[in-house]
A and B are shown apart, each in its own frame.
Chain A
Amino acid sequence: MSSHPVTEITGQLTRFLFGAVRYTQREPAVVIAVLNLKGGCGKSTIAINLACELAGASDSVLLLDNDAQGTASHWLSHGRLPVQGQFMPLENDDDGERLVRTVAAGNQRYVVLDAPAHVGAAALAAGKIADLVLVPVTASGIDLVATHAVVDLIRKARELRRSGAPKCLIVPSKIDRRTDAGRRIDEQVRQFGEPVGPSVHQRTAFIEAFGAGQWIGDFAPQSPAHYDITALAMAVKRCLRI
């Protein structure tokens, strides 16, 4: 049966639209923010390596570097990481909107936000859209104080959103068990009343991996440092599931 050209075109158009509709609807990405108001607590390290670890399990991951320092972007710039990244420093609320749009427009399974170390648009945006906030905490006393502020911020966001999100996971970071502080960290982080994830230890492998522009899973696979990250990824997934 020969079909009329107009019908043919209409049909094609319909098929096209149908297909478009069919494949544009999808699951929203899971947004994981790495946030602490204290600098130097290993946010970028954790964000990068966690993103890569998640990507290594063949889930698509987008890493958004919201830190104007651009540590993560620099790391990414070598092109040796298995994740897509985007440098998106946030300075005002418009930037926050942009972030939300970027997250909504992507088709990734996970979006990892590397937030800067101050209260600002990025922290607020993270509070608004994150499903999970990772709070890296080093064993230093200053860090613990700053962490209180972050936990408060997260709790406020949770109240506003009324959905239980964002969840929070405290990640002891740069831990060296040979020191007293390192040994005491577990008790100390428990005081925040939020779940505590596996520790990311103070390891030279992380620093060397950064120097090589690689993530730890590529730089030193199956190394203890890699296991730190894998454990963290496990904890993150578990946290998101519950």
Chain B
Amino acid sequence: MSAIRQLRAREPEGTSATDPGAPIASASDRENPIDLLRDAIARLKTSGADLPDQSQVAILLEEARDALERANLVGRAIEACQGYLRESRFDKAFEVVDRALVAYPGDPSLVARRAEVESRQAALRVASAIRMVLEEADWFVAQDRLDLAVQQLHEAVKELPDQLTLTSRLEDLESLVPAWQQKRDVQAALGRAAALEHAEQWQAALTVLEEALRSYPDSMELSATARSVQEQLVESERQKKLARRLELIGQRIAAQQWRQAFTLLESARKEFPGADGLEALRSEVDAGLRRSDCDAFAAEVRQYLADGELEQAEQSLRRARKTLGPEPALDVLCEELESEKAYRAELRTAQVLFGKRQFKDAETILSRILAQDRPDAQALLTAVREARAATEEETFFDSGRERALELIQQGQFAQAEDLLRNLLSLFPGNPLLERDMKAAQAGLAQQPPEPAQTVEEPEIETEPPEPVVSAAAPAGAVPHENSPSRLRRTAVVGTASLVLVSAGGAAWKLSRGAAPASRPAATARQQMPAAAAPAAVLPPASPATETPQPSATAAPPPAIAKSAARESNPRAAAAHAAPLRQFVAPDTTQAPARASAIPLPPTQPVITADTLASLPADLMRGKVTIPAPDAPPPAAPQPAAKSAPSAPSSGGRLQQAQLVTRVLPAYPDLARRSSIYGTIRLDAVVDETGTVKDVKIVSGVPVLALAAKDAVLKWKYKPALLNGKPVATNVTIQINFGAHQ
């Protein structure tokens, strides 16, 4: 019993050792009382059975030991838990407590400790949650998303209702929200407006801004932007309108509707003064308008030109100039008109020259104006060329035949035959040539072959006169008797030369063509003198030459040939041949000189005073043109030069007066102002010294004629030479005062 008491007495020691910390210390102090208890229990058990209540004691002791162990373990667990709690390692704390609870479930101190751990953990969680929320809110605020921060806080407050920090922060932020919202809305509106402005959607931008302004009417920024957008809207509308106008005008321009374009442009310019595009278009439209006017005038002028109504064309052009002022196109037109005028004038000149049988000059003029592709000029040129060629051939025929006859007379039959053969190759079958040929061949046969063919003599001017031949060569004696057909031919030739202003070659061809037509010889014979007389200015002595005369020469064939040539030569028979010959051979006067040896004065070529050597080529081209004056026969200043057989009969060689110095006449101011122009013809005498005297005005406007006369008096000539001696001559001078000086 004492033991139990002992034990029990000790028991409170043991139980008292349940006080935290104490049991361990006491145990260690007492060298582990549990071990001691265990030892005691073991001793009891071994000593066993002598003590009645031994088992009881052992049980008590075991109980004591268990209690001690429990107190010990719980105490340690709580201690560890406390340590973990201090380090906020809740999981470890739970682990320790829960393990202890497994050993001693429902231990109140352990349960209490666990609850404590749980509450501590919860508190910590809340605190960290709040901190996070606040941090997030701050971040949102920093990101200028106040709305999100507020939202976040609201949610947090809902979850953690009584957290003062949260609610106060929420209140703070909520008070900031309206200002922030406004700023944000304004910014958004401005941004959208800016984007729309950028897209030039002025109206949409304005709408956006106006909506924003309705919410925030006092935002300066918004109202300023709205104003500027409004301005830009107006401006853009203006620009669009202008662009539409420009497009419209452009369409009119493209359609060449200059009038409409001009009207549109004028109204647009009134509306949009100083717009660049308009000014550019204006010059274009002006130019176009001008051009169209110009075209209209040009068409008119060209029509007149085509109709050949030069006067009207000029008037129209003048009107155009008055309306449009200086204009290159008009200049071109003017040039065309001038050229047309010049062309007409030159064509007229050429026609005149053609009429005067001055073919070479006509041809020169025509080939110059032919460049313009004119059918009339082309036709005239062809005619002129034909006439010229015919004239040349005729001249050649005549002179060649004459030369052949001379050669026959000189007994140079071989030479004559060569020449005649060539002539015949050009004029095949010509009976005159054939007859001459026969004569030459006959002569050749009679004559013993020449030992050596002498070189032909070039100086035929010094041809000796052959009075015998001349006297014995009356015209047309033999043809009468022998050959009526030949006579008919000559008659036809005479007629032809009257009718046609044509050359001998052509006439001869004609005569050949007419020969088969069986015309009675008698009528032809009667016609011949009658027809030839007026044309040839034959003196009454002419018929007398037809009377047959015996030939007194020793060589009849040449004489016959020669006389036949004289008679049947259409050129020589016609008076118009005079200027012709002069033209064709102006400086080779051998033909007249040679012809003078033959007593056929009426048919002599006469140099007439009225043949103008040349009309000015550039008649209307603004120059004073002075034709080379013509030289009348040497028979002094007698106007009746045509009927002056004395000149050729004197047998002299005439060299015409040649112009050495010419002075251009001054175009009188009065004439210039009154637009007087025209052609002046003067008759003058060039004396032996080459000085111009006795100037007489033949035709022309007096004011110009006086100027021309003054000028002509200053002219200097190389005097005309008759047989090398200077003589006084008549000259006719023509001066053109062009229209455009």
Contacts and interface: CB of A to CB of B under 8 A. Distances in A.
Given A8-B326, A219-B458, A225-B456, A27 B400 contact: no
B590 interface: yes
Contact of A227 (B392, B403, B588): B403
A100 to B, nearest CB: 21
A203 B457 CA distance: 12
A232 B327 CA distance: 55
A178 B414 contact: yes
Contacts of A231: 396, 400, 419, 422-423, 425-426
Nearest to A23: B371
Given A199-B425, A222-B590, A227 B400 contact: yes
B325 interface: yes
A178 B449 contact: yes
A208 B385 CA distance: 34
A241 B670 CA distance: 51
A224 B458 CA distance: 9
A203 B393 CA distance: 24
B466 interface: no
A223 B328 CA distance: 60
A7 interface: yes
B458 A223 contact: yes
B367 interface: yes
Given A11-B331, A222-B399, A231-B400, A177 B417 contact: yes
A14 B393 CA distance: 44
A27 B455 contact: no
A238 B425 contact: no
B386 interface: yes
Contacts of A7: 326-328, 331
In this complex, the member of B339, B415, B590 whose beta carbon has the largest number of chain A beta carbons within 10 angstroms is B415
Contacts of B327: 7
B360 interface: yes
B328 A198 contact: no
A234 B331 CA distance: 46
B549 interface: no
A109 B363 CA distance: 11
Given A199-B418, A222-B403, A227-B400, A26 B371 contact: yes
In this complex, the member of B321, B364, B422, B456 whose beta carbon has the largest number of chain A beta carbons within 10 angstroms is B422
A186 to B, nearest CB: 8
B460 interface: yes
Interface string B393-412: 10010011001000100000
In this complex, the member of B364, B417, B421, B449 whose beta carbon has the largest number of chain A beta carbons within 10 angstroms is B421
Interface in A6-23: 7-8, 10-11, 14-15, 18, 22-23
Interface in A224-242: 224-225, 227-228, 230-232, 234-235, 237-238, 241
B455 A203 contact: yes
B45 to A, nearest CB: 147
A118 interface: no
A205 interface: yes
A234 B426 contact: yes
A184 B400 CA distance: 24
Given A18-B332, A197-B425, A205-B455, A224 B419 contact: yes
Contacts of A223: 456-458
Q: Does more than half of chain A's interface fall in helix, strand or loop, or is it mixed?
A: helix
Interface string A190-225: 000000111101011100100000000001111111
Contacts of A232: 422
A120 to B, nearest CB: 31
Interface string B459-485: 010000000000000000000000000
Contact of B396 (A27, A224, A234): A234
Contacts of A224: 403, 407, 415, 418-419, 456
B456 A18 contact: no
A222 B367 contact: no
Interface in A72-101: none
Nearest to B382: A241
A230 B400 contact: yes
B418 A222 contact: no
A151 to B, nearest CB: 18
B326 to A, nearest CB: 4
Contacts of B364: 58
Interface string A125-161: 0000000000000000000000000000000000000
A35 B596 CA distance: 43
Nearest to B343: A22
Given A1-B326, A14-B332, A221-B458, A235 B389 contact: no
A163 interface: no
A162 interface: no
B456 A237 contact: no
In this complex, the member of B399, B407, B458 whose beta carbon has the largest number of chain A beta carbons within 10 angstroms is B458
A22 B460 CA distance: 46
A19 B290 CA distance: 25
B326 A3 contact: yes
B423 to A, nearest CB: 7
B372 interface: yes
A227 B393 contact: no
B387 to A, nearest CB: 12
A211 B277 CA distance: 81
A22 B396 CA distance: 36
Contact of B393 (A23, A175, A238): A238
A57 B418 contact: no
Nearest to B367: A27
Interface string B153-191: 000000000000000000000000000000000000000
Contacts of A220: 455-458
Contact of B425 (A25, A109, A198): A198
A12 B719 CA distance: 43
A233 B415 CA distance: 19
A24 B335 CA distance: 16
A205 B453 CA distance: 11
Interface string B319-335: 00100011110011001
A91 B373 CA distance: 37
Given A177-B414, A222-B458, A238 B426 contact: yes
Interface string A161-182: 0000000000000010110000
B493 interface: no
A231 B404 CA distance: 13
B701 to A, nearest CB: 28
B93 interface: no
A228 B331 contact: no
Contacts of B419: 224, 227-228, 231
A4 B326 contact: yes
A24 B42 CA distance: 157
Given A25-B371, A27-B370, A221 B418 contact: no
Interface in B285-341: 321, 325-328, 331-332, 335-336, 339
Interface string A49-61: 0000000011000
Nearest to A241: B389
Nearest to B393: A234
Given A10-B328, A26-B371, A18 B339 contact: yes
Given A11-B328, A227-B400, 12 more contacts: A7-B326, A11-B331, A14-B331, A23-B368, A26-B367, A177-B417, A199-B418, A205-B456, A227-B403, A228-B422, A231-B422, A238-B389
List of 5 A-B pairs having minimum Cβ-Cβ separation, nearest first: A220-B458, A3-B326, A198-B422, A11-B331, A223-B456
Interface of A: 1, 3-4, 7-8, 10-11, 14-15, 18, 22-27, 57-58, 109, 175, 177-178, 196-199, 201, 203-205, 208, 219-225, 227-228, 230-232, 234-235, 237-238, 241
7 contacts: A7-B327, A198-B423, A199-B422, A205-B456, A224-B418, A228-B422, A234-B392
Interface of B: 321, 325-328, 331-332, 335-336, 339, 360, 364, 367-368, 370-373, 385-386, 389, 392-393, 396, 399-400, 403, 407, 414-415, 417-419, 421-423, 425-426, 449, 453, 455-458, 460, 588, 590
